[in-house]
A and B are shown apart, each in its own frame.
Chain A
Amino acid sequence: MAKRKGIDRREFVTTTTGAAAAVALGPTIRIKRRQKTLKILQWSHFVPSYDGWFDKYAKDWGTAKGVEVTVDHIALADLGTRANAEVAAQQGHDLFQFLSPPGAFEPQVLDMADVVQEAEHQNGPILDLCKRSTYNPVTRKWFGFSDNYVPDPGDYLKSLWTEIGMPDGPVTWEDLVKAAPLIKSKHPEIQIPIGIGMSQELDSNMAARAMLWSFDGSVQDQNENVVLKSDHALEALEFGVRLFKAGMNPSVMSWNAASNNQALNARQTGYILNSISAYRTAQDNKLPVADDIFFVPALKGPRGTRWASEHVMGIYVIWKFAQSPDVAKQFLLDLIGRYRDAVLGSKLYNFPSFPGSVADPGVAVGQKPASGNKWLEQVTANDPFGSNPPAKLKPISTALQWATNIGHPGPANPAESEVFDTFVLPTMFANAATGRMSAKQALDEAHQQVKKIFEKWRSKGLVAGGSGDRA
């Protein structure tokens, strides 16, 4: 019988050494690129049709310009982690889109002043809200370029609010406290009459700020001094406790960014603070609840102040280590030039940071912002995406009267970003609402946390203020 031919030790060592060398050296072999490339990373949009529109636009743009464009989408919650990884590796995408001001990354990004200037030259001025989210007055650097912001109105179920005698929904924060027991008594099956999150996630972060600002409190003042500890903030916090007791339950402490959408669409809550994505999801899935969802502007506080943060703000950065920064800048300018299509691609979710970018064709630059704003009013008053009634989205066309930036009344900065990303404010509300701490204790604790964060970033020269910090 012939002996089966195996592999001897010599052959094994030779083969594996060769294979290992090939694996190790393979990535070092440079293949000359035939054409320019542009790599873009952004979120998987809450309105999926936008991703379809954007990816096709980017591909067509690349074909027209002779640029190989790659678009990667990741979940909203992974953006920060991914950005850190790219900075640590000093490689990644040319264009990276954040959804809140990326102040902490300022040292690693290019100054976008030239892009903003050119976009303003072509379309008219950028919104002040967007400027305060992307421009650091301390370093005088545009650390990002905003293409859009997303309004954050109140979403309510009209049938419920009609039953309790408020067919147009709430106008003030106090209305929520009044409405909650009425909704509960008429509909005991509804678990959370008022669905304002107090959890460690995006929507709760926005809701906490809306409540704080509408009660005339804030984290910082215009000059970036920490002023969280105030009578107004305490008033907001005490209101939060009342609201929780009147209309919520501990489930709001565990919500993620999708939970309020799910609760509204399952008719388990009568009011949420959110963009129109919950509504668009209901429409896309042909849920009967879609026709019952209506919108109200930001709610008024006890002295009539009315603020809400933008729900998200699209902010592109170009890393200092980007391979194709000039191509990236050109892409952004051309994208702004097509922003009416982008707004429609997002089904009116994205609102333009340059209102002039959605103006009627052929309008002179000076008239573009007015023309763009008029178009936004028209399109929200007659939703082309099947709203019933068609004027349902009209309240969000007033967003510029009540939407403001993270950091209000001051600018966005790395300290405000860290306060935002470590969920200091929703945790403060949760601590007070659940009785874990008194409202005063919760406020004191949050204030001290915020002060430490601001001091750290001031020592790095990225944040102003300090002399006016409250003790």
Chain B
Amino acid sequence: MTPRRTLADREEVLGGVMLAPALAYVILLVGVPFVLAIVLSFSDATAGSLRFGWAGLRNYAAILADPIFLRALRNTAVVTIGSQVLVVVLATAAAQVFRTTFRGKRFARFVLLLPWAVPVSLAAIAWTWIFDSTFSVINWTLKAAGLLHGWLYWLGEPGLALLAIIIVQAWRIFPFATVIVLAGLSSIPQEIVEAAIVDGAGFWRRLFQVELPLLLPVVTVAVLFGVVYTATDLGVVYILTGGGPANTTHVLPTLAFQRGILGADLGQGAAIAVFLLPFLIVVAIAMLRLARRAEVGAR
């Protein structure tokens, strides 16, 4: 007698069933809040009430006329681009180091990965002390070494505060990018590198004319992840500067949080948060196209 066919034997159904939890997760925890955010952005919802009315484009009109929002939009772009430029340079350099063999490599790799493993909020608190305008360890060290004659108010001056944010974001993302670039380096066919060496190419020529072009698709993916992580991050800016001094370092997530949650204006907060969407879509499409073109070109 043949055993009864159960769900486990029906591959066409089983596939769907096994995919369902992941789909449900994405729909419930990403899709629903996302749709809710769009709905709220067209409403006059406030934090202390569950009822809300239709506000049309009023929230969008209000934020577009708001210089603090425009500054936050610009800051989001500056922090994202600035940190990713740093990440690409640092990750490429670190990957070159880690592909060689040296004593203590395993320990160094562990240390390298720490920033990725440490919770963002915890790391940001540590950085807050490092950049503290009164007690900054950087300032005291530079002073003791005779390299600083004035004083750097890291989090108290807009330019320096933005630089501090870029540094922390780069520090946070660069281990992940290094691992990706390292994986990309190991996938480059050895014979191509050897051919370049035979042709007399030195280190820099090999790096810029052989390895980096071949690494472009991989680096693009690393940067894409970095862009998404940085542009959507609330923790670093919120803990480091809270958007200050005088609202000059807000990025879109912190401004959305301040207006929507702390200020209780959910409608406007949602409108600010939704502005991230076109920004990220454009970036994602552009980078994926670039990666695809690079892949096709490589073939």
Contacts and interface: CB of A to CB of B under 8 A. Distances in A.
Contact of A256 (B14, B62, B157, B242): B242
Contacts of A266: 134-135
A421 B156 contact: no
B247 A427 contact: yes
Interface in A284-328: none
Interface stretch (A147-155, A216-224, A348-356, A429-437): A429-437
Contact of A84 (B47, B128, B242): B47
A8 B49 CA distance: 52
Contact of B157 (A108, A250, A431): A250
Contacts of B47: 83-84, 87, 104-105
B246 interface: yes
Given A251-B156, A256-B242, A418 B264 contact: yes
Contacts of B261: 80-81, 84
A56 interface: no
Interface string B40-78: 000010111111000000000010000000000000000
A14 B14 CA distance: 12
Contacts of B246: 198, 253, 427, 430-431, 434, 436
A81 B245 CA distance: 22
A254 B161 contact: yes
Given A199-B242, A254-B241, A430-B245, A192 B262 contact: no
Interface in A94-124: 102, 104-108
A249 B6 CA distance: 74
A107 B52 CA distance: 12
Contacts of A102: 48
Contacts of A70: none
A414 B49 CA distance: 12
Considering residues A83, A199, A253, which has the most beta carbons from chain B within 10 angstroms of its beta carbon?
A253
A249 B153 contact: yes
Contacts, number: 126
Nearest to B20: A20
A451 B133 CA distance: 34
Contact of A12 (B8, B135, B155, B243): B8
Contact of B265 (A418, A427, A436): A418
A198 B133 CA distance: 13
Given A104-B264, A254-B244, A87 B156 contact: no
Contacts of B51: 107
B271 to A, nearest CB: 14
Contacts of B154: 254
B31 to A, nearest CB: 17
Considering residues A106, A266, A434, which has the most beta carbons from chain B within 10 angstroms of its beta carbon?
A434
B259 A422 contact: yes
Contact of A253 (B44, B48, B245, B258): B245
A338 B161 CA distance: 47
A37 interface: no
Given A198-B246, A253-B155, 18 more contacts: A12-B8, A13-B7, A20-B21, A104-B264, A191-B134, A199-B244, A249-B133, A251-B153, A253-B153, A254-B154, A414-B46, A417-B264, A427-B244, A430-B245, A431-B246, A434-B245, A434-B246, A436-B246
A106 B48 contact: yes
Nearest to A20: B21
Contacts of B134: 191-192, 251, 259, 262-263, 266, 268
B259 A252 contact: no
Interface residues of B, number: 39
B119 interface: no
A5 interface: no
Interface of A: 8-10, 12-14, 20, 80-81, 83-84, 87-88, 90, 102, 104-108, 191-192, 198-201, 249-254, 256, 259, 262-263, 266, 268, 414, 417-418, 421-423, 427, 430-431, 434, 436, 452, 456, 459-460
B263 A13 contact: no
Contacts of A10: 6, 8-9
29 contacts: A10-B6, A10-B8, A14-B8, A83-B47, A84-B47, A87-B47, A104-B48, A191-B134, A192-B134, A200-B247, A249-B153, A249-B156, A250-B133, A250-B153, A250-B156, A253-B246, A254-B155, A254-B156, A254-B245, A262-B135, A263-B134, A414-B264, A418-B264, A418-B265, A427-B247, A430-B246, A434-B245, A434-B246, A460-B49
Contacts of B14: 13
A259 B49 CA distance: 34
A87 B50 contact: yes
A414 B245 CA distance: 25
Contact of A421 (B46, B151, B247, B263): B263
Contact of B133 (A20, A254, A418): A254
Nearest to A85: B261
Contact of B263 (A12, A250, A253, A418): A418
Contacts of A418: 263-265
A83 B133 CA distance: 32
B265 A456 contact: yes
B264 A253 contact: no
Contacts of A107: 48-49, 51
A435 to B, nearest CB: 11
Nearest to A199: B244
A81 B234 CA distance: 14
